[in-house]
Structure 1
Amino acid sequence: MTDLPQRVAVVAGGSSGIGLATVSSLLEQNIKVAFFGQSSEHVVSAKEKLSVRAGAGNILARTLEVTERSQIVRFFDEVASLWAMPDILVYSAGISPKGPCGATPFVEVSPEEWQLVQAVNVTGAMLCCQAVLPHMIEQGFGRIVLVGSVAGRTIPRIAGAAYVTSKSALSGLTRVLVANSAGHDITVNLVAPGRIATDMAGPPDSETNRAALARIPVGRLGKPYDVAAAIRFLVSESAGFINGATLDVNGGEFAPL
């Protein structure tokens, strides 16, 4: 991506896990990156570490609620005022509620849990895409990557009903965006990670992760950078003919025909 000097990217959910690895990876490509997260502690920590490596002038970090449209609008207005409207959007924000015994059984999922997960995982993605798409169409270039999950691709083993449904919905949103951006050198793709060693996945030696490890042909859990590397390629000009695709990053745990 050295042929994309000073492009501007937004990474939703960029303060931890896959999102943070993506921010770091894009900064390495001479891209200015604005990111946000829900935890102010995570956002401040991520900004401090990234600023040392990439320079504070290349980073914008904010804490906000992705379910609040007004906060999303203000964030993108700030990015545009500081640099420009983003050419690249990566939506990595997401929640997967679990209790002491794991995900809520389907028959016990409350409307409140269901609505919150859809609001963060799907509606937040929609709001961010609405913010950037007109600019991308106007300038004739754009890259959008939505972060889904293997849980939205096959029979779920770990994730709860609300999370699985939300990640499946991102496939539909991807197709809608492809249709609505046709003819403007804009690509919209979905990355579907498998079991990745993040805070959301819990301790690597947990019973759940040990069971997942036994199913992964490459013999290890994924790392956030594994997913970030795939995202970095999809937002590059080299991937300009990949559009509407789902890229599975799961070590072979799920290999669709």
Structure 2
Amino acid sequence: MKTYLVFGASKGLGDAFVRGVPQQGDKVWVVSRTKPDNLKLNDGVERIWIQADLSDLNAATLVVNKLGNDTLDVLIYNVGIWEKEGFEDHYTFDKDEPADISQLIHVNVTSAIVCIQSLLPHLRQSKAGKIILIGSTAGLNNANNTQVAFVASKFAIRGITEALREHTRHDGIAVTCINPGELAAEIPYEEGSERALDEYNGTRIPLADMVSIVKCIVNLSKAACVKEINIPAIKDMNT
């Protein structure tokens, strides 16, 4: 039996983690702004919703208070916002508003640091604690991405992972960063990989692939630490 906490868990990749990673008898703390449908699942996994807005500086305190003295075995930090129209052809960094840049950095970077820091006591109670941060191939060298703030935040996630791993080494907590390329996030996890493959012809990664990677990491012994995994779509020639 394991206890998980998943941030950004109401839809897309976070929802896929909540549905696909835990096994019967496990517990999952589900953190999101809106109440997710995955709470309705009847599969032998206990799912408990924590309503939290990670743009709020008090979000970490709220999450910790809900947990009480619960032990955490696996923390999955899956949070990321991007520039308005950042993936549109007409997007330009020149028009990014300072307030939007500040908000992006706060949600993607500051909140990650503060929330993980506050949850370390819960992870230290585990016999083999694991922290998994979801980055992006946009945070890798030569990714050809012009979204300055978003790219900076995803480079930062990799830096957080590196330093955090050293900080928690003596606690036996393994810290991993997974950097996916573009995901088929619009195709629900429960609809399977085939629809995503048919829809995008290999240009976007099915959510099930990400679930498989996380399950592998979670099931490793406490002797192993996967530092970083880069997983671009096979037809993404820029990564």
TM-score bracket, normalised by the shorter chain, equals 0.7 to 0.9
Superposed CA offset, 1:133-181 (max 9, x none): 1333355531000000011113345562211110110011001101111
Indicate conservation of the 8 Å contact 1:195/1:250, yes or no: yes
TM-score (normalizing by structure 1): 0.77
**Aligned AA for 1:237?**
L
Which residue is 1:35 aligned to? 30
Question: What SS does the corresponding residue of 1:27 show, helix, strand or coil?
Answer: coil
Task: Encode CA deviations 1:194-214: one digit per residue, 9 max, x unaligned.
Answer: 1111149xxxxxxxxxxxx68
Look up the match of 1:207: none
1:222 aligns to what SS in structure 2? coil
Give 1:12 deviation, angstroms.
Answer: 0.3
Letter in 2 for 1:63: Q
SS at match of 2:80: coil
Name the counterpart of 1:205.
none
Q: Is 2:9–2:36's contact at 8 Å kept on the other side of the alignment?
A: no
- Where structure 2 has 5 or more consecutive residues not aligned to the other structure, the ranges are 188-199
Within 5 Å, give how 1:108-257 maps onto structure 2: 108-137=95-124, 139=126, 141-157=128-144, 160-199=147-186, 219-238=202-221, 240-243=223-226, 245-252=227-234, 253=236
Q: Quick one: distance in 2 between partners of 1:228 and 1:188?
A: 17
Contact 1:79–1:86, Cα closer than 8 Å, also in 2: no
Mark the CA change 1:105 to 1:129 in structure 2 (over 3 Å): closer, same or farther: same
Aligned-residue CA RMSD (Å): 2.8
Aligned length: 226
- SS of 1:74's partner is helix
TM-superposition CA deviations, 1:56-105 (whole Å, max 9, x none): xx001132111323232222221235xx1322100001112332972741
For 2:25 and 2:178, the matched residues in 1 are separated by 22
Does residue 95 in structure 1 map to residue 90 in structure 2? no
Distance 1:197 1:159 in 2: 21
TM-superposed CA distance for 1:236, in Å, is 2.4
SS at match of 1:225: helix
Q: In 1, are the aligned partners of 2:24 and 2:44 still within 8 Å (CA)?
A: no
Structure 2: distance between partners of 1:131 and 1:254: 39
- What is the alpha-carbon distance in structure 2 between the residues aligned to residue 168 and residue 91 of structure 1? 15
* Alpha-carbon shift at residue 29 of structure 1 (Å): 5.6
Unaligned runs of 5+ in 1: 201-212
Q: Report if aligned partners of 1:73, 1:131 keep a CA contact under 8 Å in 2.
A: yes
Partner in structure 2 of residue 46 of structure 1: 38
Asked if structure 1 preserves the Cα contact closer than 8 Å seen for 2:21 and 2:214, the reply is no
C-alpha deviations, 1:30-56, integer Å up to 9, x for none? 421011122x2xx242322x3x3345x
Structure with more helix by fraction: 1
Match of 1:9 in 2: 4
Q: What TM-score results when the alignment is normalised by the length of structure 2?
A: 0.82
